[in-house]
């Protein structure tokens, strides 16, 4: 019996025992371990054993979390353990309600967090649009209590998934994006039909919790992954993605299917257990390597405690726009980590009290599924990730707003009408970046009853082999030092990249350490990004603009071909289009091909600028001639 099964069983017991899905986070009672703690511990052992088999967790993967823990404002600051896999916990919780087992296991680590477990269980059970608030939500109101509780987990060897949401809740001294909105501002631009609600109440990342089909992935979110663990012997998804997108999602379907579906059909589970591979789902920690920070006027505002951060949103109760630039390099670094999706805005306060100040510290892509052969190079890994991210962003993004865990879809509502006002609990306000998507995505999202519309690009002909979820606007990137989590792992590998990068793009933000968490892209990467971004609305790869041949060009082409014949396109190009940089010999060859075709079809079937029939006749003649000629040559040669 695998650890997960056991855990599941335990979870079931817990649920049975306490059917009331209370979300409160009461301090665990030493006496309240009616549930077989031993069993739980046993499960935990098994679990851990499995992990170790997988190769002990790479601390790097968790450092980020731990660093987060170091954030003085972080509720989890109590967590001294670098090994604590908060991250993974996040992944579990955040990603799937079905990760319940894991979460529970995590909580059971010390054998005395039954209540915690219950809470978690409840959470999992509540998997539904309205998704109850996670235990940590309560943290908002009662921090001290939580802290006490957290203390108990101080020594937890591994995950502490339950609490990770607290990170979300952590205050950041240097919240990045500050948006000043008038209470009457409207939620314009948001039109989403996804019945997913986001968590809020300081559990910015929680929303991601609950993917019905995520069960099979629970194992994947586990930290017990070594570098190679992330890898799966499959070809680069990126390529597929790119190709797929480029070809309008018409290809790749078949091959991608395996990869993609693995997400939902349990393909991964077995693998996980096989210990040969461990797929790790890149969850909200993924830092998108795309630069998007210029979305707004960046005004580095940093105000420590003045802002109440919740769900990735900073709210300044005082309505004070002054900033204390307490931004230490480390902080900035965090920002960088999220560079791509980070949005910063600091609008000037115009109407004082009527403005709600929001600071969106960042947006994250909760989930990015990457599969790449172990033998792939770091460079290819980077590209793959980039492609994946690009694919996610490729369809465009839109912003979603959630309040109290519910999506606010009515764009016409004013902030105040929606309940977003100075005195409201902005803690429950959340932002998400969502794919601007295709119906299928929406459907998936709805189906998953995720808080956050998780769009999963399943292997439908429509989408490439990548699974992604909404980009959840939220929490802080962790502070520097120990930073290195999954996202980091994947994205921030510039140092070892074979490609000539490492050129810090933004020297201004030189807190190079930020690199820990931030993907510092090299020039080539940027270039790539640039290109991709440019074309992301159309195809991933920039497609040359269509330039119909003019009659004159056709004339020149025909003339050249009459002289040189077909099969010497380079010469034709040189001869007739030497000065036309945009006409490659391939273009000419293609044009000839179409001309021949055009000449053969009836006039009414022709489109575009009409080519004189006379010219077409010459095309046919030349074509026939050269065909004949070639044949003759061929036969002669033979």
Which residues of this protein are in contact with DNA, per CB under 7 A? Answer: 243, 246-247, 250-251, 541, 543-547, 566-571, 582-583, 585-587, 589-590, 593-594
Residue 241 · residue 540 · CB < 8 Å: yes
The residues near 61 (Cβ < 8 Å, ≥ 6 apart) are: 85, 87, 88, 223, 225, 484, 485, 486, 489
Report the C-alpha gap between 92 and 497 in whole angstroms.
29
| C-beta of 296 vs 585, nearer to DNA | 585
Closest to 230 measured CA to CA, from 282, 302, 190: 282
Q: CB 16 → DNA: shortest distance, Å?
A: 54
Q: For residue 637, what is the enclosing H or E element?
A: helix 613-637
| C-beta of 130 vs 567, nearer to DNA | 567
B/e letters for 93-115, b = 16+ CB within 10 Å, e = fewer, are: bbbbbbbbbbbbbbbbbbebbbb
Query: Angle CA(315)–CA(365)–CA(210) in degrees, nearest 5?
Result: 90
Tell me the three-class secondary structure of 272-304, residue by residue.
HHHCCCCCCEECCCECCCCCCHHHCCCCCCCCC
Q: CB 570 → DNA: shortest distance, Å?
A: 3
| C-beta of 331 vs 583, nearer to DNA | 583
Q: CB 200 → DNA: shortest distance, Å?
A: 42
Q: CB 238 → DNA: shortest distance, Å?
A: 12
Q: CB 540 → DNA: shortest distance, Å?
A: 8
| C-beta of 136 vs 558, nearer to DNA | 558
Token pair for residue 137?
């939500």
Q: CB 526 → DNA: shortest distance, Å?
A: 20
Maximum alpha-carbon separation in the chain: 98
| C-beta of 30 vs 552, nearer to DNA | 552
Report the C-alpha gap between 472 and 402 in whole angstroms.
10
Q: Which region, left, alpha or beta, applies to residue 120 given φ > 0 means left and ψ of -120 to 50 means alpha?
A: alpha
Token pair for residue 230?
């992330």
| C-beta of 544 vs 607, nearer to DNA | 544
| C-beta of 299 vs 542, nearer to DNA | 542
For residue 419, count other CB atoms closer than 10 A to its CB. Answer: 17
Angle between helices 86-95 and 100-108 (to 10 degrees): 140
Report the C-alpha gap between 227 and 363 in whole angstroms.
25
| C-beta of 120 vs 241, nearer to DNA | 241
| C-beta of 275 vs 537, nearer to DNA | 537
| C-beta of 233 vs 548, nearer to DNA | 548
Report the C-alpha gap between 4 and 10 in whole angstroms.
10
Considering only CA atoms, give the Rg of the chain. 28
| C-beta of 248 vs 322, nearer to DNA | 248
Q: CB 620 → DNA: shortest distance, Å?
A: 16
**Which phi and psi (to 5°) does residue 57 adopt?**
-60, 140
Q: CB 609 → DNA: shortest distance, Å?
A: 13
Residue 402 · residue 257 · CB < 8 Å: no
Residue with tokens 């519910």: 406
């Amino acid at each position: 019996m695998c650890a997960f099964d056991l855990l599941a069983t335990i979870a079931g017991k817990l649920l049975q025992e306490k059917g009331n899905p209370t979300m409160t986070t009461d301090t665990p009672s030493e006496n309240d371990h009616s549930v077989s703690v031993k069993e739980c511990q046993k499960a935990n052992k098994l679990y851990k054993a499995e992990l170790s088999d997988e190769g002990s967790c790479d601390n790097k993967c968790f450092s980020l979390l731990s660093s987060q823990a170091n954030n003085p404002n972080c509720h989890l600051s109590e967590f001294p353990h670098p090994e604590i896999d908060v991250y993974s916990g996040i992944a579990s919780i955040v990603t799937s309600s079905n990760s319940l087992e894991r979460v529970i296991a995590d909580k059971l680590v010390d054998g005395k967090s039954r209540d915690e477990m219950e809470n978690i269980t409840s959470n999992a059970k509540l998997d539904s649009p309205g998704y109850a608030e996670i235990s940590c939500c309560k943290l908002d109101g009662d921090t001290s209590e939580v802290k006490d509780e957290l203390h108990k987990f101080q020594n937890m060897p591994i995950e502490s998934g339950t609490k990770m949401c607290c990170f979300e809740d952590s205050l950041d001294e240097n919240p990045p994006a500050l948006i000043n909105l008038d209470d009457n501002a409207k939620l314009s631009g948001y039109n989403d039909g996804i019945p997913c609600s986001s968590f809020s109440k300081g559990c910015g990342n929680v929303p991601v919790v609950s993917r019905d089909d995520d069960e099979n992935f629970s194992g994947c979110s586990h930290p017990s992954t070594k570098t190679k663990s992330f890898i799966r012997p499959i070809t680069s998804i990126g390529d597929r993605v790119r190709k797929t997108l480029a070809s309008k999602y018409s290809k790749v379907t078949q091959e991608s299917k395996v990869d993609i579906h693995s997400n939902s059909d349990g393909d991964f589970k077995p693998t996980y257990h096989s210990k040969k591979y461990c797929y790790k789902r890149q969850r909200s920690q993924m830092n998108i390597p795309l630069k998007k920070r210029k979305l707004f006027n960046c005004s580095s505002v940093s105000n420590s405690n003045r802002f109440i951060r919740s769900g990735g949103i900073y709210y300044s109760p005082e309505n004070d726009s002054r900033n204390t630039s307490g931004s230490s390099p480390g902080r900035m670094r965090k920002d960088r980590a999220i560079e791509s999706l980070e949005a910063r805005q600091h609008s000037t306060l115009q109407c004082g009290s009527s403005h709600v100040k929001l600071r969106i510290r960042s947006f994250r892509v909760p989930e990015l599924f990457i599969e790449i052969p172990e033998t792939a190079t770091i460079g290819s890994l980077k590209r793959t990730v980039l492609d994946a991210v690009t694919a996610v962003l490729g369809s465009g993004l839109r912003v979603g707003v959630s309040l109290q865990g519910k999506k606010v879809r009515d764009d016409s509502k004013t902030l105040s009408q929606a309940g977003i006002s100075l005195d409201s609990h902005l803690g429950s306000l959340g932002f998400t970046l969502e794919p601007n998507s295709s119906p299928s995505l929406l459907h998936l999202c709805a189906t998953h009853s995720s808080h956050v519309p998780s769009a999963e690009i399943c292997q439908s002909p429509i989408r490439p082999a990548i699974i992604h979820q909404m980009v959840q606007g939220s929490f802080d990137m962790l502070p520097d030092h120990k930073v290195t989590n999954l996202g980091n792992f994947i994205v921030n590998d510039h140092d070892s990249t074979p490609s000539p990068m490492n050129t810090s793009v933004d020297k201004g933000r030189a807190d190079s350490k930020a690199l820990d968490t931030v993907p510092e892209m090299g020039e080539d990467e940027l270039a790539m990004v640039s290109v991709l971004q440019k074309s992301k609305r159309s195809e991933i790869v920039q497609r040359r603009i269509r330039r119909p041949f003019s009659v004159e060009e056709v004339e020149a082409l025909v003339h050249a071909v009459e002289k040189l014949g077909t099969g010497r396109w380079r010469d034709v190009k040189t001869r007739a289009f030497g000065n036309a940089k945009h006409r490659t010999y391939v273009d000419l060859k293609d044009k000839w091909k179409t001309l021949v075709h055009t000449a053969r079809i009836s006039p009414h079937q022709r489109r575009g600028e009409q080519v004189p029939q006379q010219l077409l006749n010459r095309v046919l003649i030349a074509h026939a001639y050269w065909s004949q000629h070639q044949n003759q040559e061929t036969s002669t040669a033979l």
